[in-house]
């Protein structure tokens, strides 16, 4: 289908293109538009049927959204923005430069403009900033028949009708009702008798991560959002939550790699911005690594008297860093999924201690035989190295398991206590342990 449309576009047979597009999925149309050059892109967008143009617009990249808005007429802008769901319009405008925002708002109707401005005033990454107002509301005095007629009359413009919300005259949230339960009920049944009064909801100022956690915990497809007076002001839908989860996971991965999160796609970000986001942590890690040099200088005489000790430093440091990273990654992910809480710190400490003893012992035994049999190291030296390795693994796993929880406790992002930072800290500890054990056992 897409190959056929691309060929028709190249031949400028736009009437046939319009007919072919009518049979395509909206997401596929958006993907097709993003693959075209700017001239063809604009032509194709303009021949889209009016009823799908806004939906297609919401799926193209922000860069192309800006290009389209800057290139089309005021009337076309008005048609697009007035047909967009409010949350999609807000998501788009939040990323646009001020001149584009002004152009868009200038060409929207007054009601839509007021709603968009209201949404733009909510704090970034809050429930209020990601919610939509296109939902079905019912009154508890309605009969099922009246409710279904109300949904038929108003539901066509709603983002979802699968879940309906029951409100009173002051718009305070009173209950929730699924469309399935509504359809299966008798026509003369009162809504107040069949609605669920135990409603899971979020406040407009709740963080979007909190909202995502509610979706996961209660297997929701939509979540009502209320203001401080418990008035229903909007809903968050599952498609928005998927985007939020993707965004939060990306941010965590960046932080775990000791980088500031990027705001744009990698290939669209300038080298200067990429360097800026990395250089701070690289400087911190570089400076913190000087402690490793200080420790080596401190034990310089020990290394001079037994040079063979130097050859085992990389193995001990690398193993310690890997062990710490394993523990921190598991704990950070567990905390992100809600499986581990800061109150579980003692349990985590004990479990990581057990794991480290088992893992460290296996590594130490295997390494002992490797050193004695293949590298012909004397027994005492092999014992020193392997005991140091065991102690390093134990300490690394304890540090890697507990530090992210400590960060969470003091209101820092646990993701920063991962990868490079844990490795740098463990390197210092590993060298200290190794040289102290060597000096005691070898009497140096």
Locate CATH 3.10.580.10 in the chain: 136-237
- Taking CA atoms, 368 is separated from 8, 336, 388, 427, in Å, by 71, 38, 11, 21
Pick the CATH number of 2-126 from 1.25.60.10, 3.40.190.10, 3.90.550.10, 3.30.70.380: 1.25.60.10
- Residue ranges of the chain that CATH labels 1.25.60.10: 2-126
Q: Which residues partner with 231 through β-bridges?
A: 172
Amino acid 2: pLDDT: 64
Rounded to whole angstroms, the Cα distance separating 119 from 97 reads: 17
What CA–CA distance (Å, rounded) separates 109 from 81?
Answer: 9
Partners of 166 in the beta sheet? 138, 175
Q: Nearest 5°: CA angle at 96, between 93 and 101? A: 60
**Which residues of the chain carry a pLDDT beneath 70?**
1-2, 257-258, 288, 305, 418-419, 444
Instruction: Tell me which residue of 431, 430, 315, 441 sits closest to 371, measured CA to CA.
Output: 315
Rounded Cα–Cα distance for residues 431 and 319 (Å): 12
Q: Are 229 and 243 in contact (CB under 8 A)?
A: no
| pTM (predicted TM-score) | 0.65
Pairing outcome for strands 232-237 and 173-178: unpaired
pLDDT for the residue numbered 82: 80
How far apart are alpha carbons 386 and 318 in whole angstroms?
A: 14
Q: Please give the sequence-ordered ranges of beta strands (E in DSSP) within 181-322, or none if there are none.
A: 202-203, 222-226, 232-237
Tokens of 49: 């049927």
Q: What pLDDT is attached to residue 419?
A: 66
pLDDT confidence of residue 1: 63
* CATH pick for 136-237 out of 3.10.580.10, 3.30.360.10, 3.40.50.720, 3.30.479.10: 3.10.580.10
Query: 289-441 sits in which CATH class?
Result: mainly alpha
Cα dihedral sign for 59, 60, 66, 68? negative
Q: Which tens digits make up the pLDDT trace of 113-167?
A: 777 777 778 888 899 888 888 899 999 999 999 999 999 998 887 888 999 999 9
Tell me which residue of 147, 130, 144, 314 sits closest to 223, measured CA to CA: 130
């Amino acid at each position: 289908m897409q190959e056929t449309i691309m060929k028709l576009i190249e031949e400028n047979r736009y009437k046939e293109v319009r007919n072919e597009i009518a049979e395509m999925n909206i997401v596929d149309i958006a993907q097709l538009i993003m693959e075209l050059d700017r001239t063809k892109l604009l032509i194709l967008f303009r021949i889209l049927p009016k009823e799908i143009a806004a939906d297609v617009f919401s799926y193209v990249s922000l860069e192309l959204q800006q290009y389209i808005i800057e290139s089309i007429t005021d009337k076309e802008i008005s048609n697009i923005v007035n047909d967009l769901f409010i949350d999609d319009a807000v998501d788009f405008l939040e990323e646009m430069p001020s001149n584009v925002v002004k152009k868009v708002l200038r060409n929207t109707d007054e009601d839509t403009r007021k709603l968009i401005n209201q949404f733009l005033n909510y704090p970034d990454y809050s429930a209020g900033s990601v919610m939509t107002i296109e939902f079905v509301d019912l009154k508890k005095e309605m009969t099922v028949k009246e409710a279904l007629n109300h949904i038929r009359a108003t539901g066509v413009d709603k983002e979802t009708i699968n879940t309906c919300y029951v409100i009173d005259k002051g718009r305070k949230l009173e209950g929730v009702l699924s469309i399935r339960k509504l359809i299966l009920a008798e026509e003369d049944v009162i809504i107040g008798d069949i609605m669920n009064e135990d409603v899971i909801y979020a406040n407009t100022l709740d963080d979007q991560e909190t909202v995502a956690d509610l979706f996961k915990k209660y297997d929701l497809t939509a979540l009502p959002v209320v203001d401080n007076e418990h008035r229903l002001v909007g809903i968050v839908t599952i498609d928005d939550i998927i985007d939020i989860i993707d965004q939060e996971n990306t941010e965590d991965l960046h932080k775990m790699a000791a980088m500031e999160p990027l705001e744009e796609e990698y290939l669209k970000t300038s080298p200067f911005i990429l360097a800026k986001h990395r250089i701070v942590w690289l400087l911190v890690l570089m400076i913190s690594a000087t402690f490793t040099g200080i420790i080596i200088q401190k034990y310089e005489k020990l290394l001079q008297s037994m040079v063979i000790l130097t050859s085992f430093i990389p193995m001990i440091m690398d193993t310690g860093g890997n062990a710490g990273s394993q523990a921190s990654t598991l704990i950070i992910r567990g905390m992100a999924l809600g499986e581990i809480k800061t109150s579980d710190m003692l349990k985590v400490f004990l479990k990581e201690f057990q794991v480290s003893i088992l893992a460290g012992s296996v590594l130490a035994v295997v390494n002992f035989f490797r050193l004695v049999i293949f590298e012909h190291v004397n027994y005492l030296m092999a014992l020193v190295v392997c005991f140091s390795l065991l102690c390093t693994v134990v300490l690394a796993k304890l540090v890697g398991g507990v530090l992210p929880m400590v960060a969470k406790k003091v209101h820092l992002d646990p993701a920063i206590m991962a990868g490079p930072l844990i490795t740098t800290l463990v390197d210092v500890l590993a060298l200290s342990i190794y040289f102290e054990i060597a000096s005691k056992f070898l009497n140096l």
